[in-house]
Structure formats: structure tokens, C-alpha cells
Structure 1
Amino acid sequence: MKKSTIVSIVAASLLISPLVLARHVQADEVGTNSVEPVLATSTDQESSPDKSVSEHVESSENAEVSKESSTESVGQKAAVEQAIDSNQSIGEKESHLDKAVPESSNVLDKAASDKGTVLEKSGADTGSDTEKKVDPRIENNATAVDSSREPGNDRSATRVSNPPKTTLADLSEVTGQARTEEDSKKEATVGEAVNQLLKWASTKEGQVGSTDQDRLAFAKSLGMIDQKAKGSDPVTDLVTMVAAAKKLHAAYRAERKTPLFMNGRAQPIFPFTRGDDPEHYSYENSDIVRYVVYVETDYDTDGDGKPDLVKTFVQVPKAAVKGDYKAPTIFEASPYVAGTTEERTLEGLGLKEGGKFDMAKLYTKPDKRKAVKEVSTEEVAKATKPKDWYYVNPRESSADYTHYDYENLNWYNYYLVRGYAVVTSSGLGSKGSDGINTTGSDLEVAAYKSIIEWLNGKRKAYADKTSNREVKADWSSGNVAMTGLSWAGTTTFGVASTGVEGLKTIVPAAGIASWYDHFNSQGSPLDTGASNDLSWLSVYTSGRILDKDDWDKIKDYYAAYITKLNELQHKDGHNYNEEYAKRDYTLNAANLKAAPLLIQGLNDDNVKPKHFELMLEAYKKAGIDPKVLLHQGNHVYPSTRWAGTTVAGQAFNDLMNQWYSHYLFGLQNGIEHLPQVTAQDNLDPTKWRRFDKWETDNKITARAYSKREDVTVSSDFYGTGENWTTRNQDAAFHSSAVSASYAAPVDRDITIKGHIPLHFSAAFLKGDKKHAHVSATLMDVSDEEFDVVKEEITYDKNGYSTRTLEKETVDEKGDWHGSNLDSLPVKEYKTHKVKSVVISRGWMNLANPDSGFNSASSSHSIDLKENEYRNYTMYLQPNLYTVKKGHRLVLTLHAFDPDYIYYADPYEVKFKTDSISATIPIVEENQSLLLRYQPNEKDTEYAKLADRILAIAKKNPAVEKDNQQDKGSGSELKPGGQMDQQPPVGRDSMEFRKEQKVEIANLEHKENDVSSKEVGLSREARLPETGQKENSWSIYGMLSLLLAGLWKVISGRKEEK
């Protein structure tokens, strides 16, 4: 061989090897970084109450081994033939609504003791609230809540010992597919069996999935294969696979199309047709029927003398409209989705404040309309045009983005193909509806309640707003679930508090329980300017402005209402009053009946975690056991139109499908036995923890200590030279003029679980007493960086804060939706390396010493007197957060919190050191901590001071005059010189909607085939960090060089011959 040839081959090999290596690294990363199942479960055997989850796991694994090693007389082929020929397929009891459903043998219910379940490495119990420890990666939670392993409730009954190999020929006998001689010799894999059986069961292409990954996911949903099965595994239980395929085969060909239930959940057997294609949509050509009705309410909020009609958008499988079955409904009541104004004040709408308004007139009940005739759903659906639910909103669009409403049109497609109906309304004052938006009031709630009553057949709806032609929900079973994010989560809880019949369950995500605590905290506002007005959200969602003629009828009336609302809301400052009471749903706790699954992001700084606690307490008053799902996200719904996520290894939508299958279809799948709390870990978001209750009996009693008897903090960031944008990071390690910092080392891992009462005695010293706001934070601090899920906060030059919580894609097509729907990416939260993170924070007005945890306790304030001490209890936000051994807990005290409010006129507050204490609820055993004052480097005198003898903890008198001269400040407070940083202006609570629109725009780009450049960039972004970036030309060049070298070898050999 010539030297030049050898050199060419070596060069090509060296060039291409990094690419090959990168591919191997990528494959390894996918294997090691994928989210493995977390919860230890088993449904193959009955669990005894006195066994721990880890014991069940071990016995389950041993049982599997024993099944494999046992002997059985029936051979694989005979068993398959028996399953094929049998008139009753395995699991038939759970297939249709008119069939009996077996009771649940739920491992979770029995294995989770009163001490809870921790899904992490094993360890000993350390206290009465300590959880049981389990290996975190054992089996998928999907089976944990199933009543049976449908099809095949007892898989051991059909499993044979040392089963003969399943060949491709065996599959061909079932599916009728042509076979070759080789098929009798080749062992079939799970992937091959799934593909053949599902395609055999289907009636059209794409019905069971377009990819092997989709079909494997479908097979797992059906219970056809184990949750941990891989496509490359050999087939070991063909009987179960055939039985499942046979049931699916029958369902697709049934004369009456009814929902199919297997493996404890509704299956995606209904076809999907898009509603966002106006040019091609028609009733005749659509498998999903879409139409609009106008539901009549009781009240006349717009003063036109008639009961308000609210536009209601319906999506339902055509089979239900044809009468094949009665469909339950998933209802989202969101003022946003029909179109927003993007304005926050009357001036933004071109209106002025003023005019007289009588709030009592809003509650006028005019006579109801008289229906002149009744029209069918089919008639209305044929007459409804796509423009009624799919139209451009110019106010939400921009030069480079076109926004379409209803914006949630495709958010619930997953459920439509499983037989659920989906109903949406933006309620009073929205585009197409009557009335005016009243921001969460009892009137708003009553209007949404009316829609559920229509679905129950107890209220009238009309085909349009003028003809009085009545339309009944003749396709509806009357069973309704409500869900949604933010305001849609709020209306969910609000409607539940009415006790309306037919509302079987609610799943509020980041919903408001009491509007007072959304705008305020213990007398202190959580925003400034218009953003602290109830009215701004009404202005933002007054979609009637999108129809000019309609808007002109009410705009002056509406301006007078907003003027009056602003007056009444603020007549008592930032105290709780009658307007807030109309929007406090916890007051109606006695009416609650619908089973709740409360979803909350623990990093949500918009609708704060306190609200899920208020909901939880309300449900307990009603005698109902609520379930809580706590994730590490911020103001988001766990799964969205553009990406999915997992809960303990199970797809979130799959979990919800089980929940709705039980509460709406009546399927006995055991989901109701979930422990009360399921929570995502803050240190490792792939781990989830479960507790049988939220409350804990254990606590850390933490007391503050300083060599000084008191400490003074100032609100004057500018005058003191302190940077407000880094105040928390700074206070984590030392005190300053604007913060008092106290730290204690943690000598063991602790998990904080609940809200934190902080007790202190404080006196207002100098400044504007109208704004005597104080705040506090509890932080996790370490000298070394540590990984944690954390919301990143950045500030722009104008003082606006932006919060981001990064996710990473762990599977590009892992969020399977079924039917002919596309699968979406699976995304999980990323951790960040930090030295400090805020665990919890709280806010309070010193003028509200009697304010407690409940909203109504903040209804009274006092006139503050300078230098007069009073006792306070501030409630820091609830969290579930693990602090690692060796870290420090740091408690900091401040004046106002510049992330929320800003006051230019400075003031000072003094705290008595010995009065400062916190009761920190924890999972582990009780303990005490001494939080020592952290001086800054400028405070050189502190080290010279003598230690003080700790005072015996006692409650100070309610009022105590401070006779000592203030040593930390002069006689007059003046604003300091201006710094480079701008004053804080707070946060934008609509940030989550901006992020949604970005995601929608990105999704539209993907669906419309983005440019090759964008595709290339996207692909490069998914490569592992090996320093290599894929480039088609570089690959082409490498391969060309390699082929050239090989050609030289061949040519050289020919020449030698």
C-alpha cells in the first residue's frame, strides 16, 4: 500500500472520530440523564399495611423471579390461541361505562404510612413526621394508582415458566400478516410485537401513532407491556399483548363509539381534527364538533335590563353529539382566552375616571328570556363558523407576531381524543359576552357557575344573543371538572365554593384563594400604582372593546364602575374590607364538595404558595381530604401546549387522565388514594416525595442572638449606598444599614414543610408612618456552591425585574398524546449553582399588629407612634425545601421589599433582638437553633462588645415605649444621593403570559417548517458539550476524504495485480 494512501485514511479517521465519539457521548447522556421512574409500586400482589414501600418493592421483584421459575402446563402458543378465540378478552370488566369496574388494590394507599414516603435513598426514621425512605428509581408511578394491570388483572395467571420464544411467525398467526420461513426462527422483540399488534388493531394509518416511540407509549398506556419495557426486549407475555390488542381492535370497529378504558385510564381512540384551520374546517369533515352557545346568567351587570349572556365555546367528540355516549366535561373559565386589551388603566382604553355608580345595581335580577324554540347541537354546530373561536386579536399582536384567540383552543386536545368534552368561557365583559368584568367577585363566579348548570340541564343557553333559540347540552353526562392556571385556577376554586351540583373535581394551578392576599400581605401592598388595583385586571380583560359597536354601548358605564371599584378597594388603605370579602372564597368553605387536586409552583412569585394552603385549610373545614401537587416551577401549568413534564416518572397528562377517569367517568382506579402531598425535590428535580399530610408536628425553634439588645434597619438604599438589586445575596453573609442578618449552622439534613411564623417586637422610629412596611427572608446559605432549582431574577436599567426558571429538554418526542396527535418534548427544571437561595419571605405593615394568617385578620390598623414597641407575627410563605447538612439558615429583616414596592421617603424600624424568633415546620425531629447576628466588615465595634446572657424567652407586652435614645441615626432622615441604579418598579405579573406567547410563536414556527438555518441551530443546541458542532458540509467532507482513501487502496491493489 502506498504511503499517500495510508496518510489519507489516517487523516480521515482522525477527522471523523470526534463526531463518532460525540454521538456515543450523546447516547450515553440520554441513557444516564433520562428521568427514571421514582415511585416504588406493585400491583401484582396485595400489600399489607404494616409493610414499608421498600419491602413491597423487594417482594415484588422476588415474586417476578418466582413466576419466571415456576412451572405451568399451558404453553405459550396454546395460551395465545386461547386468548384469540375467547369471547371474553382479558380485562373486559374495565372496558366500557356500562361494565362493572373492579375495586382498587392501591399500593400507595397502603404503603404510605402516617409518616409519609420519601422517594430517595434509604435511611432511618428520625421523628414522628419523618417519611419512609425508598430507592428513588424503581418503578413507574403509572401503575401505582391503577385498580388492575388491565388487561390481565393477574399477570401471573397467563405467564408461563421459561416460556418458549415468541417468533415473528407467532405474531403473524394473530395479525394475519404474510410470513416467511425465516419468521419461524426469528425471535420477536417487544417493539416488533407492539407495532404488528397495534397496526392490526387499527383501522387507518397513524391511528395508533406515527413512530415506534409513540406505539410503545400507547402499549404501556393500554397495559399491553410493562412500563419499563424496551422495544428491543424479547416478548415474554404474548397473551396479555394479544388480549389488549383484541380489545383495541374491537373498540375501533364498534358501531357505537364509546370511550375505552384499560389500565385504569381512558384511551385515545377518538380521532382529532384541527379547529385552527378556518379554510378547511366544517362540521361534516370534523371529528371534533366545535360550536358556541350563550348561557344565561342571573344578573344584569351591564345595566341593559336583561340577564347577562356569557359566550361559551364547546369542543366535543362527534360520537357524543351523535348519541353514542354521554361525555363529561373539562371546563376552563379563563377571562384571558377570548382576548385581552393589554391595558391596565381606563386611560389606556381612552376613558376617564368619574361618574356615579351604584354597586347594588350589579345584583339586579331581571326576568329571564322566554325560549321560542329548541334547536339541536348539530344544527348550532353546523351554523357556527370558525371565526367565532379563532380570530386575530390586534391588541395582542405585534409587527412580528400574530395572536389568535381563543388562545387555549388546542390546550386540551389530549383529553378530546380520550372522550372528554372541553368547554371554555372568558365570562362577563369578554368578547362576545354581556356584562362587565368584576375581577373575581361573586358575580363573576356566579356567571361561571351558570355554565355548569347548563351542562347539567338546569339552565338555559341560546344559539345566539337575539333569537331566543334554546340549545341543550344533550351530549353531556353532567359531570364536570374545572382546571386552569392563574385566574383560571382562581375561578375553579371560586365556583367550587358555591357547591354547584355536577362539579365533581377541581384542579386549580396557581389559583387565588383570597384576592386580598394576592394584592396585599398583612397590611402591606405587594405592588404599587395601578398594579395594586383590583380594577387593572378588569381593564386588561375587557374584551368587549374588540367589538367597537358593542363597546360603545357600555364604555361610560364601565368607566364609572372602575372609578367606584378603585374608591371602595382603597378606602381602608391596604386593609381587608367588603370588596375583598366578595372575593374571598375561603369564607364559603362549608359549600365545598368537588374533590380537589391543588397544583402549586413552589417558585411562584406571582400567585404565591400561601393560596394553596388557604384552599387546603378550607377543604379541611368542609371535611374533605384535598390532594396537593407541588412542583418546582414558577407561575406555570405543569404541562402545556408546547411541552410536557413528568411527575414521579409518570407523564403529568397521564396522571390527570387517571384523575379525570375516576372523577368524571366513575372508573375505580384508586387514584383517590394518593397521599395528600406529592412534591418535587428542590435539590434534584428528578426526585419526588410523598406525604400523607401537609401539616407537620415537628419544628425548629429558632431564636435570634446579638451582642446588641436591638438593631435598626433603614429603607434608604440610596442614602446608605446599599444596592437593592443584590440585597438578598449580601444579607446572606452580613448585615447592613438596610438589613439585619442572623445565621445558624445546620448539623443534619432538614426539610422545611409549611409556612413560617416569625415573631418580633418592633418600633417605628422616623419617617413617613403611612408606609411602615417590613419584610423578612429565610435563606439557605453555604460557603461552597450547591445545586438547587432556583428562579433567576434580573433587573433592567429601568428597575423592572424579570424572573426566569430554566428547563431542559430530556426527550424531544417523549410526551405522547395518542391518536393522530403529535408527541411533544418532555422538559424538566434545571438546577443552578448558587451560594444562597431564598427559601421563604414575608411582608407586613407595622400598622397592622393584629394581622394573622387569614385574610380577614388584616381588617384593622392603628396609628403608629414613634419609638413605641409592639408585638408582631409575620407569616413567611409556605415551602417544601430541603437544606443540606453543613449549610446555614439565615434569617434577614428589612424595611420594604423592593421586588414589590418602592417608597422614596426613607424611614427606620428598630427590632428588639431577644424578641426575634421563628417557628420553622420540619419533617425531621424537633430541634432548637440560635441565629447569631452577622455584622458587616464596617461594624468594627461589634467584635469588641461583650457577649450578652441570653434572656429567657418571653412574650413582650403588647405596647412598650422605647425610652432609649436612638444610637444608629441622626435626628432627621433625608433621601440620599442618586446612584447609578434606578429605583425598583416591581414585577410584571403578566410576565407568564408574555412567556406563553413566545412559546406559541415558537410552536407555530416549528409547525410551519422553520428555515434550515433555524433547524440547524436547534439541532446543534441538542448536541452534548463535547466541543463539536454538527455541520453537514464537514460530515460530507470527512466521508469524502475517507472514501477517497479507500478508493486509493482498491486502485493500488489493482495496479499491483
Structure 2
Amino acid sequence: MPLAAVLASLLALTLSPVATFAAPGVLPYVHGTSTEPVYSYQNAIRESVWVQTPNDSDKDGKPDRVRVDIVRPREAASTGVKVPVILEASPYYSCCGRGNESQLKGYAADGTVNAMPLYYDNYFVPRGYAFAAVDLSGTNKSQGCPDVGGPAEVGSAKAVVDWLNGRALGFNADGSPAKATWTTGKTGMIGKSWDGSIANGVAATGVPGLETIVPISSISSWYDYQRFGGVLRAPGYVTYLGGLVNGRAQGVCEPQIDAAQAASDDSTGNYNAYWAARDYRSTVNKVHASVFVVHGINDLNVTTSQFGRWWQDLAARGVPRKIWISQQGHVDPFDIRRTQWVDTLHQWFDYWLQGLHNGVMSQPMASIERPSGEWTTASTWPAIGAVDKPVFLGDGDGTTGTLGGFPSGAVRTFTDDPNLLEGAAVANPNQPLASRAVFLSGKLTQPLRISGIPSVTLRVKVNKPTTELTARLVDYGAQHRVDYLSDGSGIHTLATKSCYGESTATDSACYLDTAVDYTDSNVDVLTRGWKDAAHSVSLKTVTPLQPNRWYTVTVPMDAYDTVVQPGHSLGLVVVGSDTDSTSPTTTGATVQVSLAGSYLLLPSIGNLPFVRTAPQIGTTTLKAQALRRPERNGDFR
């Protein structure tokens, strides 16, 4: 054996006391169909590279360069073993932190990263992966400016994938060229919220080398995040988000953020070129990476329409995929089902990045948590057999209407009340309230599975040029449920810790444990939907309503999956403004609803019982809650 090879082998053994020799042609970190922790995390290479992007988002006349902090196994580099890359591109590495403990990047005296948020590097680097953490354009230590999910941010992350595959320029701190000769080029992107949204966006560019993405609680269309059917979620949201993550010196990015805010057009709520550039679903035909979607079915920050419509588009193209749906809100699966999540993620990356045939794609595609906290599996999502069924609205007793009977020719009337919060809107459905219309099913005699994307079509006459229309699907019935309205969106943090991977003096692999929050309640809002009636013709233009004219307005609702139990009633509650979740331009309109032209489209298995009169529900209590717009409660990560 040549002397150089002998020295390299001795070096590998010195640096990694757990390293093992592999048979010829077998990677040293692969055992059977799994990667194993044979490399030293303590002695891993930690380096920083600045990758040049095709954008000049700060308008300084030069292409932006974004910082990439990398941790990779030294033994692999020493022996010429190339490794794939797990990549997280985030704007939160200095402003807000990642994970339940809001971890930030940490740096040694020489500027090299010595602490990465989360466990991805601790766990996967010893198993033959590199981990790369990208500061999105204009954030932390990167050049450029943040553009809130736009071409600069997506382009900055895409450029890193290109660099890993030899198609983009990289530079060391001294300006010398940096080449990623140590990697196979196979890259998997992961991240929660904004981070996972960028993963969706990069996948939608079709960049070669991106083999898989794992978007957690992530956005697929920023219009649908900051607008709900033409209704503003909050004014000035682009300024708020861009300023939140801006890491540049005062005055560098403010003009660009201000211009983006103006382009987003709060004044009309229209879908325009600004939003089209942030609509990843519009280029879903370019996605070739596999997709592992994770989302809380009760996420009130990144609402479930984001994964529901993205999933439908991926399914239509036959993209390899997997999905986890939890009962919590905007919560990472690491803090819900920790051991199972890490094991499944490990298998997923081993399959897609290491090429190990471990059977993960033969497992059930969907893993779904029920309100009780029990997890079930299914071969696909939505559920096989779930059919979009029109459920007609009946007049009932003239106060409370019915779901599941014959369509009625009656007209129901309500008046928009911006002070009507959700708790009051859904409470005590048999009592008259001038600001809502309520329709109830009979009490179920068998379980009703709801699985998919509901909608409500309303035939309305409005006495103002527009009004917001808000629809809520409600489960009326006593049950022990996951409490997604708790302070932790369904979890609370414990004092104990568990460890996933190896630690160093500056980067611990141990994290505070969590537990699920539960509540006993007799009412639960399942899913919601919003629409500005003046956007009923098109989201691209405002079409003011004419008085004394009937219009058909469809209110899309957020994707949902649950089983409504026997003895419960399903309710549809329709109101005007929703100041819990949106910032509507309240008009105080009086809305007439023709029941003959109105219906709920419910993706379901099973039928609602036929009723002529709505059942008596009795007193209901919905837990008091803070306003849910993320900028009001800090739940933006």
C-alpha cells in the first residue's frame, strides 16, 4: 500500500475512534441499509464559504454573495469519501433562532461557526453527511437584501445547490476560490416555516442535484400566506417580515424592502407580478425532487391551504412524496414525536441521498394524528374514498339552519360585525345572533371522516361594494382533544432533555423534551376560509358588488383531516369580518344568503344524517385565545 494511503488510514483512525473499515466498494459509514455514526463530530471540518448568486438584490452593482456554514466529516475528506449534503437555508440564524429553544448560530474567535441550531449536524455528520446552513440573502452574514420568499432568497439557496454541483462560484474568506470537491452533489433541503418555504421554492426551479426536500409548516404561495382570498392578513406585512430578518447595515436594504411593500399592493389585495414571483405552485411542473411534507392540521400561522394545494399539485405530477399531519399548530415534529421523527427522517435521507434501499418508500405514505393524540397511517392522502359531496343548507327553524337536508328556498340575513371574535361566533349555535348564519347537521350516528379541502359556495346579495366572508366548519361535541390553542400551539416544554447525535463544548446535541397539551371541550373549530367578495370574479382585480344583485361567491377553506365522532354535530358558521386572523376592510355590510344557491362542498367518507330541524346543542365554550396573526403573538417561525 502506498505510504500516503497508510498515513491517511492512520489519520482516520486517530480522529475517529469509532470508525470502522468497510469491505471494498462499501462506504465506511453504511451498515446494511442504514448509515451509522462512525465519524467524529468533535473533529469535523467546520468552514465557511461565500457563494455567488445571480442576483443583485441590494442594488450595489455586484452579484450578491451568501454565506454558507458547513460541518462535514474530516475522516471522509481525508480518505477521499464524498458525502451528500443536508441543507437548511434560513433568515433566522441571527434574528430569531431556530427550534423550540430559539437557537442561533455561534462563532469561534476566528469567525468559524462552532454552534449550529438544531440537531441535523450533530446527528447526521457522524453518519456520513455534510450539513450546510445558508444565511439567506440580506440576513445574518450574507450580502444582498431579504425579499420575503422572492427571487433573491430562492436564488441564493439555489446558487448553493449549484455550487455543490460545480455550477456556481464559491469563495473563501480571503477571496480565494472554494470548490465543493468533497461532496457527491446530492442535496436534501429541510426547514420549518420560512426555511421550508425556500425549500419549496428551490424545488420549483427544478435545479439539478436537489434530490429531496422536507418542508415543515411551510409556504407554497406567499400570496395565500399574506392574503386570504383578497383579504389582507395584516397591513405592511412585507415591511414587517423584511425588517425582522434584515441583517444589513442601516440604509442598505430599507429602500428595497419599501419598494417590495409597495409592489405587494395592500390597497387592493390583488394577486399581481410581485405575488406571482412568490407562487411556487405556478412552477410545480419543474419539481423533480421527492417531497416529505410535514404540517400541523391546526396551524394558524402557515395555514393548511399551503400544504393542501401544494400536495395536490405534486400528486397530479406523480412526484414521490410522504406526509405527516399532526394535530398541533406551528410546531416542529421533533417536538411532537421526537424518536419516531428522527428515525423516519434518517431513513428518508438515507434513501434519497445515500441510495440505500431501506424500504421507506414502501411504508404508508401518510401518518396522521387524530384529535385524541393517536397516530394512524394510510396509503395516501387525502383518504381513499373521500369524495367531494355537496351538503345543502336548510332553513331549519329560521334561527339555526340545517346541514344534510333538502336545499331550501329561504334567504338568511346577517350584518358584518368586526367585533365578533371566533369564540362568540361559534358559541351556542341555537341562539339568534344578527351577525352570523349557523347551519347544523343532525347528530352523527356513525363516524364521519373529513379528508381534503372543503369549500363553501354562497349565493349572496350585499348592500355595500364588498364585504369579507368568513366560513368556519365546527365540530360540536364533547371530546378530549389536543389543545392547539395553548400557548405552545399544542405542546409545552419540560425540564428534562434527550440527546440526538454527538455534542461538543459549544454545540450540544441535547434538547429540552416536550409534551402534548390536551383539553376537554365541547366545541372545536376544524377549518376556516375567507374571501373578499369583490375578488369573487378574480384575485387579480377588484370587481365592486352592485346593490340588489345576486352574486355567487366561493369561499375556499383550509385543508383538513379528522374523524367527527358519533353523537357530535357538524356546524357551518358564516360571518363577515374576522379580526382574529385577518385585517379586513370592514364595511358593516348586510349580507343576504340565498340558501337555494348555497352549499358546503365536503370531502368526506360517510354521510351527514338527513334533518329538517337542527338539533339543540346547548351551551358551548371555546377557549379564550389571543389574536392569531403571527406578528401579534410572535408565532412566525
Name the TM tier (shorter chain). Answer: 0.7 to 0.9
Aligned to 1:508: 215
Counterpart Cα distance in 2 of 1:618 and 1:936: 39
Code of the residue aligned with 1:836 in structure 2: it is V
Assess if the C-alpha contact under 8 Å between 1:891 and 1:931 holds in 2. no
Code of the residue aligned with 1:267 in structure 2: it is E
CA 1:584–1:737 in 2, change beyond 3 Å: closer, same or farther?
A: same
Code of the residue aligned with 1:441 in structure 2: it is G
Counterpart Cα distance in 2 of 1:410 and 1:814: 11
Aligned to 2:574: 893
Counterpart Cα distance in 2 of 1:815 and 1:734: 52
Aligned to 1:538: 242
Aligned to 1:806: 491
Aligned to 2:561: 880
Assess if the C-alpha contact under 8 Å between 2:468 and 2:586 holds in 1. no
Residue 920 of structure 1: how far off its partner (Å): 1.2
1:451 aligns with 2:160: yes
CA 1:930–1:518 in 2, change beyond 3 Å: closer, same or farther?
A: farther
Aligned to 2:38: 269
Residue 562 of structure 1: how far off its partner (Å): 2.7
Assess if the C-alpha contact under 8 Å between 2:327 and 2:370 holds in 1. yes
Q: TM-score, normalised by structure 1?
A: 0.52
Assess if the C-alpha contact under 8 Å between 2:475 and 2:564 holds in 1. yes
Aligned to 1:442: 151
1:468 aligns with 2:175: yes
Name the SS of the counterpart of 2:307 in structure 1. helix
Code of the residue aligned with 2:111 in structure 1: it is K
Cα deviations by residue, 1:381-431 (Å, 9 ceiling, x for unpaired): xx98553436xxxxxxxxxxxxxxx76265541112222111011221123
1:786 aligns with 2:454: no
Name the SS of the counterpart of 1:865 in structure 2. coil
Name the SS of the counterpart of 1:629 in structure 2. strand
Code of the residue aligned with 1:900 in structure 2: it is S
Paired positions, count: 592
- Find the partner of 1:831 among 497, 500, 518: 518
Assess if the C-alpha contact under 8 Å between 2:120 and 2:131 holds in 1. no
Assess if the C-alpha contact under 8 Å between 1:332 and 1:482 holds in 2. yes
1:730 aligns with 2:452: no
- Find the partner of 1:682 among 355, 371, 374: 371
- Find the partner of 1:315 among 66, 71, 74: 71
Assess if the C-alpha contact under 8 Å between 1:638 and 1:645 holds in 2. yes
Residue 817 of structure 1: how far off its partner (Å): 3.8
Cα deviations by residue, 1:574-596 (Å, 9 ceiling, x for unpaired): 12111100001111122111011
- Find the partner of 1:574 among 269, 278, 290: 269
1:306 aligns with 2:59: no
Residue 814 of structure 1: how far off its partner (Å): 6.1
Residue 625 of structure 1: how far off its partner (Å): 3.4
Residue 628 of structure 1: how far off its partner (Å): 1.4
- Find the partner of 1:494 among 190, 197, 201: 201
Assess if the C-alpha contact under 8 Å between 1:333 and 1:427 holds in 2. yes
Aligned to 1:987: 629
CA 1:932–1:742 in 2, change beyond 3 Å: closer, same or farther?
A: farther
Aligned to 2:3: none
Cα deviations by residue, 1:46-67 (Å, 9 ceiling, x for unpaired): xxxxxxxxxxxxxxxxxxxxxx
Counterpart Cα distance in 1 of 2:19 and 2:121: 26
- Find the partner of 1:329 among 85, 91, 104: 85
Code of the residue aligned with 2:435 in structure 1: it is V
Residue 333 of structure 1: how far off its partner (Å): 0.7
Name the SS of the counterpart of 1:862 in structure 2. coil
Aligned to 1:419: 128
Counterpart Cα distance in 2 of 1:636 and 1:931: 41
Name the SS of the counterpart of 2:535 in structure 1. coil
- Find the partner of 1:528 among 234, 258, 273: 234
Residue 440 of structure 1: how far off its partner (Å): 1.0
Code of the residue aligned with 2:394 in structure 1: it is Y
Code of the residue aligned with 2:433 in structure 1: it is S
1:592 aligns with 2:297: no
Counterpart Cα distance in 2 of 1:879 and 1:581: 25
CA 1:506–1:813 in 2, change beyond 3 Å: closer, same or farther?
A: same
Aligned to 2:447: 749
Cα deviations by residue, 1:753-781 (Å, 9 ceiling, x for unpaired): 01112111112125xx35x1010111111
- Find the partner of 2:379 among 686, 691, 705: 691
Aligned to 2:329: 634
Name the SS of the counterpart of 1:513 in structure 2. coil
CA 1:733–1:293 in 2, change beyond 3 Å: closer, same or farther?
A: farther
Assess if the C-alpha contact under 8 Å between 1:759 and 1:917 holds in 2. yes
Counterpart Cα distance in 2 of 1:297 and 1:578: 22
Name the SS of the counterpart of 2:541 in structure 1. coil
Code of the residue aligned with 2:375 in structure 1: it is K
Counterpart Cα distance in 1 of 2:96 and 2:136: 12
Counterpart Cα distance in 2 of 1:529 and 1:712: 30
Counterpart Cα distance in 2 of 1:510 and 1:830: 19
Name the SS of the counterpart of 1:333 in structure 2. strand
Counterpart Cα distance in 2 of 1:272 and 1:842: 47
Query: Which structure has the highest strand share of the two?
Result: 2
1:665 aligns with 2:389: no
Residue 931 of structure 1: how far off its partner (Å): 8.0
Assess if the C-alpha contact under 8 Å between 2:192 and 2:215 holds in 1. yes
CA 1:603–1:259 in 2, change beyond 3 Å: closer, same or farther?
A: farther
Assess if the C-alpha contact under 8 Å between 1:577 and 1:859 holds in 2. yes
CA 1:757–1:930 in 2, change beyond 3 Å: closer, same or farther?
A: farther
Code of the residue aligned with 2:242 in structure 1: it is S
Residue 676 of structure 1: how far off its partner (Å): 2.9
Assess if the C-alpha contact under 8 Å between 1:741 and 1:933 holds in 2. no
Cα deviations by residue, 1:902-958 (Å, 9 ceiling, x for unpaired): 556533222123333112112x34566558568999xxxxxxxxxxxxxxxxxxxxx
Could you tell which deviates more after superposition, 580-589 or 823-832? 823-832
Code of the residue aligned with 1:806 in structure 2: it is I
Query: Which structure has the highest helix share of the two?
Result: 1
Counterpart Cα distance in 2 of 1:449 and 1:663: 18
CA 1:686–1:251 in 2, change beyond 3 Å: closer, same or farther?
A: farther
Aligned to 1:1021: none
Assess if the C-alpha contact under 8 Å between 1:339 and 1:541 holds in 2. yes
Sequence identity, in percent? 23
CA 1:847–1:739 in 2, change beyond 3 Å: closer, same or farther?
A: same
Counterpart Cα distance in 1 of 2:386 and 2:26: 52
Aligned to 2:113: 389
Residue 297 of structure 1: how far off its partner (Å): 1.1
Cα deviations by residue, 1:710-758 (Å, 9 ceiling, x for unpaired): 222222366xxxx636324415453412221111121101111011121
Which ranges of structure 2 fall in alignment gaps of 5 or more residues?
Answer: 1-12, 98-106, 399-409, 619-623
- Find the partner of 1:602 among 297, 314, 325: 297
Code of the residue aligned with 2:562 in structure 1: it is Y
Code of the residue aligned with 1:705 in structure 2: it is G
| RMSD (CA atoms) | 3.3
CA 1:502–1:711 in 2, change beyond 3 Å: closer, same or farther?
A: same
- Find the partner of 1:765 among 463, 467, 470: 463
Cα deviations by residue, 1:150-209 (Å, 9 ceiling, x for unpaired): xxxxxxxxxxxxxxxxxxxxxxxxxxxxxxxxxxxxxxxxxxxxxxxxxxxxx99x98xx
Residue 542 of structure 1: how far off its partner (Å): 0.9
- Find the partner of 1:656 among 336, 340, 345: 345
Assess if the C-alpha contact under 8 Å between 2:268 and 2:542 holds in 1. no
Name the SS of the counterpart of 1:472 in structure 2. coil
Assess if the C-alpha contact under 8 Å between 2:52 and 2:169 holds in 1. yes
Counterpart Cα distance in 2 of 1:334 and 1:712: 47
Counterpart Cα distance in 2 of 1:932 and 1:705: 8
